[in-house]
């Protein structure tokens, strides 16, 4: 159980275009989802916390107008990279908790590798 | 602010040997959780083991165990009888139980198992 599906797995886009990444919890409801970014050979950096029915909470230094997050339902959060540039090329990965207990791990999607040309 | 440190960028171990991956943390919250994840080259994040700050015993999950030393603020992962398939990046992470409950990751350790 506790499956998180992320789509697409890979995307190549031209500079200036926008890209939408979907994150779905398949067998549980998630009021909160987390979006991370990972550069090659580096750790996961939290970008924002996506809250169902309300605005996302962004980490310091993350441009909210560039990385639009929408959490329209209890099973779907989307991250849109607007006006993408080559420096936005990265691995984006979403996650959610299946339950609220202290010992509940984050379940991750398989990630999206974005390449901006 | 919470902080996680993994000081071993890379580890090389012979197959079937045990390996310890180091992790230290810093937090002012008395209630927190520590997690270890494995990330193979394919990129997915695989949850391995959890240790709560109030747990009296070290967590174990199959070949994985967590050497939790609260006074030293360390939570080292021990993998027994290593296998070739254990080669991957390993991340230690911490979540404070108060506030936003964000999961913060360490820098990671790349483990390579040699045949």
Confidence of residue B105 (pLDDT cuts 50, 70, 90): very high
Give the mean pLDDT of A10-16. 97
Residue B77 has pLDDT above 90, yes or no: yes
Give A59's DSSP letter: P
* Res A10: pLDDT: 97
Q: What is the largest CA-CA distance in chain B?
A: 45
Rounded to whole angstroms, the Cα distance separating A10 from B114 reads 31
Q: Do B52 and A103 touch (CB under 8 A)?
A: yes
Q: B46 and B40 in contact (C-beta within 8 Å)?
A: yes
Q: B17 and B79 in contact (C-beta within 8 Å)?
A: no
Residue B16 has pLDDT above 90, yes or no: yes
A107 touches B: beta carbon within 8 Å: yes
Q: Which residues of A touch B102 (CB under 8 A)?
A: 34, 46, 49
| Pairing label, strands B19-21, A44-51 | unpaired
For residue B49, count other CB atoms closer than 10 A to its CB.
21
* Res A72: pLDDT: 84
Give the mean pLDDT of A71-85. 94
- Measured at the alpha carbon of residue B42, what is the angle toward residues B80 and A6, in degrees to the nearest 5? 120
């Amino acid at each position: 159980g506790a499956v998180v599906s992320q789509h697409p797995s890979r995307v190549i886009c031209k500079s200036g275009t926008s890209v939408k990444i979907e994150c779905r919890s398949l067998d549980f409801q998630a009021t909160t989802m987390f979006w991370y970014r990972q550069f090659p050979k580096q750790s996961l950096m939290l970008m924002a916390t996506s809250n169902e029915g309300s605005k996302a909470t962004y980490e310091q230094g993350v441009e909210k107008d560039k990385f639009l997050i929408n959490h329209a339902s209890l099973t779907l959060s989307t991250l849109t990279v607007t006006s993408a540039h080559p420096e936005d090329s990265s691995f984006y990965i979403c996650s959610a908790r299946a339950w609220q207990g202290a010992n509940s791990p984050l379940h991750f999607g398989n990630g999206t590798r974005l390449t901006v040309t | 602010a919470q902080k996680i440190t993994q000081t071993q960028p890379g580890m090389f171990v012979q197959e079937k040997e045990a390996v310890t991956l180091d992790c230290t943390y810093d937090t002012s919250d008395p209630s927190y959780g520590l997690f270890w994840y494995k990330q193979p080259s394919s990129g997915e994040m695989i949850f391995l083991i959890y240790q709560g700050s109030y747990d009296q015993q070290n967590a174990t999950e199959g070949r994985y165990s967590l050497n939790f030393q609260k006074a030293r603020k360390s939570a080292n992962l021990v993998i027994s009888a290593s296998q070739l398939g254990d080669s991957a990046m390993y991340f230690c992470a911490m979540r404070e139980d108060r506030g936003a409950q964000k999961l913060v990751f360490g820098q990671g350790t790349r483990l390579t198992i040699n045949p």
